[in-house]
Amino acid sequence: MSEIHPIIARPEVTRRILRRFKLHASHKLGQNFLIDPEIVDEIARISEIEPGESILEIGAGIGTLTQGLLESGGSVTAIEIDKKLIPVLDETLNGYENFRLIHGDVLKLDLREIMQNQSFKVISNLPYYITTPILLALLEQKLPITKIVAMVQREVAERMIAIPNPKNPKIYGALSVAVQFFTEPRIVLEVPPGSFLPPPEVDSRVVVCDVRKSPPVEILSEQKFFQIVRASFSQRRKTILNSLIAAGFDRVSAEKNFAEIGIDPTRRGETFSLDEFAKISNAF
């Protein structure tokens, strides 16, 4: 750790910074700042940062995780929506080379433009109120991302890695399919509420998603695949056949398609593996 930069990831340092800038963590913006230097170090270690490697951090906060990523040698582009935090970051990360700050909403910014075709790792303690839209935006836009290392709430982490499970049908859903279609996800770290200021009401997990070079299942049309997946999970208590009809598919040809591939159309969406969703979408 460089001498001119005290470690931000400490409760007293974080409190001092917030006090000095007369700030309160915004619940609405999902501001739970890390205050545990071991967790910051562990996230940087897990991310296997190469010297000078391009990293996108979503939600820099007061620069806590950003600092750990910079100290690990990464070249960090950080996005932060809260304009009150911009002068804070200018100060806490002052002097770090290889740091670029973008003030804006990650869901509205042109990430392709930001990445300029370079390969990036996304490393972030995500704002929990928009975790799923952020993950889907990162995955579906086919950005040049090789790895996502994300702090998310425990329930979301479990959905990301879930497979069909009749004992716990509510966990597996469209997010599970999308994450596993584009990446190989694994939970690598458990983080208790006390590692944050203020502590969130939920437990947290760090999930590493290695982005796949090619999909794990063969599909004829990605658009059709996700149209079927989304329709299948949109009304959980319905059979897949009724869900697809509700989404506008024709009953007669749908029944014919299911018969041809030998899949029971009275099963519910949450019982289908990626492989079966691929088979169904290829038949439609």
Enumerate binding residues for ligand SAM (CB under 6 A): 29-34, 58-61, 64-65, 79-82, 105-107, 125, 127, 130
**Residue with smallest beta-carbon separation from ligand SAM:** 59
Nearer residue to ligand SAM within complex by CB, 79 or 161 = 79
Question: Cβ 110 to ligand SAM, closest distance in Å?
Answer: 13
Min separation Cβ 132 and ligand SAM, Å: 13
Q: Are 185 and 156 in contact (CB under 8 A)?
A: no
* CA neighbor of 98 nearest in space, from 121, 128, 66: 66
CB 159 to ligand SAM: min, Å: 18
Tell me the C-alpha distance between 30 and 25, whole Å: 8
Instruction: Find the shortest distance in angstroms from Cβ 63 to ligand SAM.
Output: 7
Comparison of 101 and 175: residue with beta carbon closer to ligand SAM: 101
Question: The tokens of 217 are what?
Answer: 């299942």
Closest contact distance (angstroms) between CB of 211 and ligand SAM is: 21
d(CA 139, CA 247): 23
**61 vs 265, beta carbon nearer ligand SAM:** 61
Say if CB 279 and CB 263 are below 8 A apart. Answer: yes
Tell me whether residue 17 or residue 244 sits nearer to ligand SAM (CB atom): 17
With CA atoms as reference, report the closest residue to 112 among 70, 145, 153, 143.
143
CB of 117 to ligand SAM, least distance (A): 22
Give the residue carrying structure tokens 């469209």.
174
Helices (H), the chain: 11-20, 37-46, 64-71, 86-92, 111-115, 131-140, 154-161, 174-182, 222-234, 240-246, 251-261, 274-283
| 82/270 with CB nearer ligand SAM | 82
The amino acid occupying position 113 is E
Can you tell me the distance from the alpha carbon of 232 to that of 229, in angstroms, rounded to the nearest whole number?
5
Say how far apart CA 174 and CA 218 lie, in whole Å. 18
| Least Å from the CB of residue 102 to ligand SAM | 9
DSSP character at residue 255: H
